[in-house]
Amino acid sequence: MTAPAFAGITGDELAGKVVMVTGASRGIGRTLALGLAAAGARVGLAARSADGLAETAAAIETAGGSCLAVTLDVTDHAAVAGAFARVAERFGGFDALVNNAGAEQVCASLDVDEAIWDRIVDTNLKAPFFCAQAAARLMLERSPANADAGCAGSIVNIGSVASMLGIPTAVPYCASKHGVLGLTRALAAEWAPLGLRVNAIGPGYFRTAMTDAFYEAPGWQAAMLPKIPAGRFGRLDDLAGAAVFLCGDGARYINGQILYVDGGLTGAL
């Protein structure tokens, strides 16, 4: 595969920065990794799929970028710190984390069992906390606390419009994404004096392997599209600019916020 062009990204927004992306083997994570690399970042790539990571890495390197792929299950908390440390050692630092790895399963709430609940909530909420913790430790090792600049490091959690809304047949997912917003705000409040920023991106409806079940449900697209003021569903490259901005020093006074990238969906409800 080849790396796409990203509107508004010139190639030097993140020059010299090291950014880790979890869930980088496909979908949103892959696109964010490509966009961050296009902005000049050296990118750490983490996911469970070695083959998918290899495709992402090849696209970045073909476009002239620099990356390191590490196979990682983010729910294996003991392995997270080691994987992140490998990236910091390879590139000589650790500036930002994009906490993207996620799970979803469309299921009527009366049919949700403990296994479904645990898989989704552990991946979407518990794992992002421990990934953020590991990243923060690396950032603070390299950068002294700099509360005035807010530039010791940046963590960007991937939330969802489900961080605000209730979505039928997605109860564990909604619970986890509401939790991501609370996690974002609490860590931002605690870590701001250390110079660390913690924000979130809330994607609207983007078609990926994880969201196919919605798009394929009879009548869903026809019912949902009129609710989006932009008049279309999201394209994956629509998300890259938000990640580049929040990872960069231009967002140094933005902390504890969620940026919805949803074509106006949440603003119009």
The catalytic residue positions are: 173
- Give the span between the Cα atoms of 196 and 205, in whole angstroms: 29
